[in-house]
Amino acid sequence: MISDALARELRAAGLRWQPESGDTFAIDRDELAGDRFTVSEMTIEPHRFDTGTILGFNGTTEWALDSLAVEDALWIPREDQLRELLGGSFRHLARTPDGYRVTIELGGDDRMFEHEDAASAYARALLSLIGASVL
């Protein structure tokens, strides 16, 4: 799972989130640092309105939080979601002595991104891809 800091980088780069069941997110507040939540029809459900998406917390009477604007949530994309977002640029994932290497094609060249966990290597590759698409 990627860190909150890396998720913030992805959001700042322009990655947008449409919440779906099974997605993981954090509430970007100091008092909830490190806590993770999962979108689920049973407990946390996205409600889409013309004005935006709200995450409703169902059956959480012990919480003072009934709902949260999606803009206040920090999406923590899973490894499979990050790989899918790389689309046709993704070439392969390989194990290395220190973790994992993700290779993507960018501008006709292979670019490699390494990290101790695969999800973070995918996220670094996606950051590069987003950055290249903005140029």
Mean pLDDT score of the chain = 87
Residue 4, domain member (yes or no): no
Residue at token pair 């970007």: 28
Query: Given the DSSP bridges, would you call strands 44-49 and 99-106 parallel, antiparallel or unpaired?
Result: unpaired
**Domain closes at, from 59, 75, 91:** 75
Residue 10, domain member (yes or no): no
Q: Is the pLDDT score of 2 beyond 90?
A: yes
* Number of domains observed in the structure of the chain: 2
Domain co-membership, 24 together with 70: yes
Contact 104, 129 (CB under 8 A): yes
Per-residue pLDDT tens over the stretch 52-90: 887 777 665 445 555 677 788 899 999 999 999 999 999
The confidence score (pLDDT) of residue 54 equals 77
Q: What pTM did the predictor assign?
A: 0.81
Q: Which domain range does residue 113 map to?
A: 79-134
Domain co-membership, 22 together with 53: yes
Considering only CA atoms, which of 3, 12, 1 is closest in space to residue 127? 12
Helix (H), strand (E) at residue 26: strand 24-27
The confidence score (pLDDT) of residue 28 equals 80
Domain co-membership, 22 together with 71: yes
The confidence score (pLDDT) of residue 51 equals 82
Domain co-membership, 70 together with 85: no
Domain co-membership, 23 together with 67: yes
Strand-pairing partners, residue 111, are 104
Distance, in Å, from the CA atom of 127 to the CA atom of 27, rounded to the nearest integer, reads: 22
